[in-house]
Amino acid sequence: MNRFELKKTSKKSKARLGVLHTDHGDIQTPIFMPVGTEATVKAVTPAQLKEDIKAQIILANTYHLYLRPTTPKIAAAGGIHKFMSWNGPVLTDSGGFQVWSLKELRKIKPEGVEFRSILDGSKHFFSPASVMNAQREIGADIIMALDECTPYPSTVKEAEHSLNYTLRWTAEAMEWLKEHPPIHGYDQQFFGIIQGGMHTHLRKQAIERIAELGPDGYAMGGLSVGEPTETMYEIADFCTDYLPTDHPRYVMGVGTPWNLLELIGRGVDMFDCVMPTRNARNGMLFTSEGVLRYKAARHAEEYDKPVDPNCDCYCCRNFSRAYLRHLHHAGESLGYTLASIHNLHFYLHLMQEAKDHLADDTFEEWAKAKCEVLQRNLE
C-alpha cells in the first residue's frame, strides 16, 4: 500500500508538495530530518525537537545502534520510540555508508559485509537479512536496504560492480521482509537505495531494477561523497526524471540550506545531514542573513543582538551573540544546545517556507533569491 500522497507539483520546476503517512504521524514534504545517530539528536532533547525545532521525523543509524546498545536491547525496550521517548516518525539508514567509510575495517562480499567494530575491534557481518532484522528490532517507521555506497570518483566498471551488490541485497532484503513482519505493532515502510556513481546509465538501471521490486520509497545514495556540487545536482535531477512520481524521494546526507532548496527544485522530497548540529558545535550558524561564525571576537560585545533577528527559535528569543560566544569559549554544553536548537529550527523553518511558497506558486523566484542570501558570510 502506497502511503505517500503527492499534493502538488510546480509548473515551473520539479518541486513537489506531499504527505507521507506513517503510524507515528504524517510528514509534510519537502522535509529535513535531524540526525539522531545513536537514538539521540546531539545536544537537544526530544521535547526541544518537537516544541521548538518542530521536527516531524528524525533519523537514527542501524550500524551504531547494532553495536551499542545492540538492537535486541532496543527491541526489549519496546522499540526506538519508547527507548528514546520520541513519539514521532523515525527513519533508520542501513549502516551501509558507515561500513563503507571504514575502509580498513571491512571486507565486502556478495553475501554482505564483514567488518570490525569501531568500539572494540570485534568481528561482525551485515547481510541483507541481518540488517532487516536489526531494523525490525529497532522499530523505525522507515527502514532502508543494505547498500554499498559507490565511491567518487569511480570508473563505470567499478560503479557497476558496486551497484550489482546493492541491487542483489535490495531484492534479498525485500524477500526477507515478506516472511518477517514488524514486531512492535505498527507498519514499517521500506526504501530502496539508488546507487550507480556519477554514471547516468547506471542510475537509470538502478531505478528500473528497484522499481520492479515495489519499495515504498526511493533514496538516492552516493551523493555528497566528494563530487562537485553541480554534479550532485545533475545526478539528482537525472534520477528524479525516472523515479516514480507517486513515491517519496530522499537524498541521503545532504546538505547546506541552499543545497536543499536547489534539490527541492529538482524534485527531491526528503533530506538528512549532520551539518546543522555539527556546525553548531563548531561555531557556525545559518541565518536568514547569511552564515554567522559566532565564536569570532567581533561578537564579544553584541549583548543585545540575537543570532538572527528574523528567527523566533528559543535561542534567538532569549540569548545574545555575546552570550553564545561566551558559552562556546567557556566550553559550556549549553552553548552547543542553544546553537543546535537554532540551526535545526532554521532548517525546519526553511522547509516550511519552501512549502508555503510552493503552495502559492512562488517557490522558484523565492528560492533563487534565498540561495544568494543564505550563502553570504556575515562579518
Name the binding residues for substrate.
93-97, 147, 195, 222
Determine which one of 52, 93, 216, 308 is catalytic. Answer: 93
Name the region of 54 (left: φ>0; alpha: ψ -120 to 50; beta: rest).
Answer: left
Cell numbers placing 28: 509534510
As a residue count, the chain comes to 379
Q: What are 220's strand-pairing partners?
A: 194, 251
274: exposed, middle or buried (Cβ count in 10 Å: 0-12, 13-18, 19+): middle
Give yes or no for a cis peptide into 153 (omega within 30° of 0). Answer: yes
163 to 151, 154, 205, 251: CA distances (angstroms): 11, 12, 9, 17
Q: What are 290's strand-pairing partners?
A: 287
297 to 97, 210, 225, 293, 379: CA distances (angstroms): 38, 52, 33, 10, 11
247 to 133, 258, 344: CA distances (angstroms): 24, 24, 26
Provide the annotated binding site for Zn(2+). Answer: 311, 313, 316, 342
Write the DSSP symbol of residue 182: -
Tell me, yes or no, if 312 is annotated catalytic.
Answer: no
356 to 25, 46, 80: CA distances (angstroms): 20, 26, 32
Of 64, 96, 240, 105, residue with least CA distance to 165:
96
Determine which one of 52, 141, 272, 308 is catalytic. Answer: 272
Distance CA(252)–CA(270), nearest Å, equals 8
Provide the annotated binding site. Answer: 93-97, 147, 195, 222, 311, 313, 316, 342
Cell numbers placing 76: 526489549
By annotation, the residues acting in catalysis are 93, 272
